[in-house]
Amino acid sequence: MKIKTTAQPITKAPKGYVRLVLDTKGSTRFVEKSGTTELHIVSGAYKDVTPRTFRTLVRTIAQVAKKHEIAKLAVQFSLTPFPQLKKRGDTWVVRTIAENLHLADYTYTAYKSTKEKKPTLEVLLCGDLSKAEAAALKTGEIVAESVNTTRNIANTPGGDMTPALLAKAAKNALRGTKVKVRALDLSQIKKLGMGGLVGVGQGAKDKPRFIILEYFGGKKSDAPIVFVGKGITFDTGGLQVKPGMAMYEMHMDMSGGAAVIGALRAAAKLGLKKNLVGLIPAAENAISDEAIRPGDVLTMMSGKTVDVLHTDAEGRLVLADGLHYAKKYKPGLIVDVATLTGAALVAVGQHAHVIMTKDRKLEDTLRDLGETCGDYVHPLPLWDEFVPYTKGVHGDISNIPSNDSKYGGTINAATFLSHFTEGERWVHIDMAPRMTAVASDKLAKGATGEPVRLLLAIAENL
């Protein structure tokens, strides 16, 4: 996909372009008019188009154009008839168009033996763009590129994305930017006392890595935002193995880590004047005679001891060490992002990330940022009533409630993490609901690349 611009109105678009027309009703169709082909797509009544439906509309345009192998599409948006978009402003509209055209254009083809020979779609944005709008277009393209980089990393099969290869993917994605990338190996991880990361990774042939991304674009005195992303390169469940199809797609259990990589890439390419750190505890939760067993007790980097009551509750064990390590940066805010619980899908379905924080203002800000950027979030509570469920049997705390309660799984996981974020300003993002795209997203099957846009919005605004 290539986006070009012209100051000419769509009626004067150069020859050879199919013109886009938005209809309030009818159906998708082509119309031949005085030698020009028009592609008609239905938006519904203009006044009803919301920021949410507009995003889907833009994606539909890209997908329909691709499906019909249109090589050149001329598009012009006048905001006047869209009151709900007008409220968001012109630069928001331009950025949203750029982002979502590229997101809808993406497919994961790394493992296709024959590449499809569809023409790359060229979209011509017609009409005068102000300086700010032209910048917004560029921003949108950088953001979408970064989201798609995250999707490439997350979609890579588990056998080809070990912890060491995830570190390499981070280096590749961030090459040429001002982000410094380091990866600690097993001996360094052990030296730091990261018992959670060591324990989860000990059953696998490919050893854990602790990936550190540093971007200092702000003043020295600015407290950084630290993003901690779950980097489980494959989650078998461990000895308490996942049944049947529950294990399928668990190569994407590093999506939180992949999102952190994408967000730092975007932040650096946009030259944000912020200090940002990304931490990715990376391990494979494998099955072998060396894997952790239920009943094993791990000593975490913080010094706390943890009863492993369930080997499939591994994400919180690696995140605990990442969250503790985060404190050394004296952060202004810690954000962790993880495909942490299937219970999050039970709670909210597949259209929002679950966010959890005790900071009500932060919660409200994230809900607003989610609507603005397209990575929608919905809160669940972090209440003290849940703390007793994390009490340990022999250790200080346990990784699942010792009564094996079926209820509140997402809250229990976050409450476990809260033992490692004491005194910090912290928000937890359980992104399991958004790990894979659903049909209404109008995205290719597989990883969504979320919540890169939200993490970037946090970096831009907090």
Per CB under 5 A, contacts with Mn ion among 301-320 are 312, 314
Q: For Mn ion, give the closer residue by CB, 143 or 308.
A: 308
**CA–CA separation, 455 and 125 (whole Å):** 28
Tell the smallest beta-carbon distance from residue 195 to ligand BES (Å): 18
- Does 315 bind Zn ion (CB under 5 A)? Our answer is yes
Which of the listed partners (ligand BES, Zn ion, Mn ion, none) does 342 bind, with a CB threshold of 5 to 8 Å by partner kind?
A: ligand BES
Residue 424: is it exposed, middle or buried by C-beta count within 10 angstroms (0-12/13-18/19+)?
A: middle
Q: For Zn ion, give the closer residue by CB, 195 or 315.
A: 315
Q: What ranges make up the beta strands (E) of 186-287?
A: 209-216, 225-229, 231-235, 275-285
Residue nearest ligand BES, CB atom distance = 342
Per CB under 5 A, contacts with Mn ion among 142-181 are none
Contacts with ligand BES by CB under 6 A lie at 235, 253, 310, 312-315, 339-343, 400, 409, 432, 435
Q: What ranges make up the beta strands (E) of 197-265?
A: 209-216, 225-229, 231-235
Q: How far are the Cα atoms of 383, 430, 444 from residue 342, in angstroms, in the given order?
A: 20, 10, 22
Identify the active-site residue in 72, 88, 316, 453. 316
Closest CA to 254 of 187, 179, 158, 342: 158
Is 242 annotated in the active site?
yes
**CA–CA separation, 111 and 89 (whole Å):** 40
**CA–CA separation, 447 and 343 (whole Å):** 19
Q: For ligand BES, give the closer residue by CB, 152 or 398.
A: 398
Tell the smallest beta-carbon distance from residue 361 to ligand BES (Å): 29
Choose which of 133, 214, 235, 321 interacts with Mn ion (CB under 5 A).
235
Q: Which residues contact 197 (CB under 8 A, 6 or more apart)?
A: 189, 208, 210, 281, 283, 317, 318, 321, 322
Tell the smallest beta-carbon distance from residue 314 to ligand BES (Å): 5
Neighbours of 378 (CB within 10 A): 18
Choose which of 253, 307, 336, 430 interacts with Zn ion (CB under 5 A).
253
The window from 47-55, 171-179, 227-235, 409-417 that contacts Zn ion (CB under 5 A) reads 227-235
**CA–CA separation, 449 and 432 (whole Å):** 12
Tell the smallest beta-carbon distance from residue 424 to Zn ion (Å): 23
Per CB under 5 A, contacts with Zn ion among 86-125 are none
Q: For Mn ion, give the closer residue by CB, 284 or 441.
A: 284
Question: Which amino acid is present at 160?
Answer: D
Choose which of 99, 133, 141, 235 interacts with Zn ion (CB under 5 A).
235
Neighbours of 31 (CB within 10 A): 11
Which of the listed partners (Mn ion, Zn ion, ligand BES, none) does 341 bind, with a CB threshold of 5 to 8 Å by partner kind?
A: ligand BES
| DSSP-based three-state secondary structure for 58 | helix
Tell the smallest beta-carbon distance from residue 143 to ligand BES (Å): 24
Q: Which helix (H) or strand (E) holds 424?
A: none
Q: For Mn ion, give the closer residue by CB, 400 or 457.
A: 400
Residue 11: is it exposed, middle or buried by C-beta count within 10 angstroms (0-12/13-18/19+)?
A: exposed
Identify the active-site residue in 182, 190, 242, 367. 242
Residue nearest Zn ion, CB atom distance = 235
Per CB under 5 A, contacts with Zn ion among 144-163 are none
Tell the smallest beta-carbon distance from residue 319 to Mn ion (Å): 12
Tell the smallest beta-carbon distance from residue 399 to ligand BES (Å): 8
**CA–CA separation, 213 and 173 (whole Å):** 11
Q: For ligand BES, give the closer residue by CB, 10 or 313.
A: 313
Which of the listed partners (ligand BES, Zn ion, Mn ion, none) does 435 bind, with a CB threshold of 5 to 8 Å by partner kind?
A: ligand BES
Q: For Mn ion, give the closer residue by CB, 141 or 235.
A: 235
Tell the smallest beta-carbon distance from residue 395 to Zn ion (Å): 21
Taking the CA atoms of residue 446, residue 142, residue 172 and residue 148 in that order, the dihedral angle to the nearest 10 degrees is 10
Q: For ligand BES, give the closer residue by CB, 170 or 413.
A: 413
Structure tokens of 328?
A: 């050394």
Is 151 annotated in the active site?
no
Q: Which residues contact 390 (CB under 8 A, 6 or more apart)?
A: 397, 398, 401, 412, 415, 416, 419
Return residues touching Zn ion (CB under 5 A): 232, 235, 253, 315
The residues annotated as belonging to the active site are 242, 316
Return residues touching Mn ion (CB under 5 A): 235, 312, 314
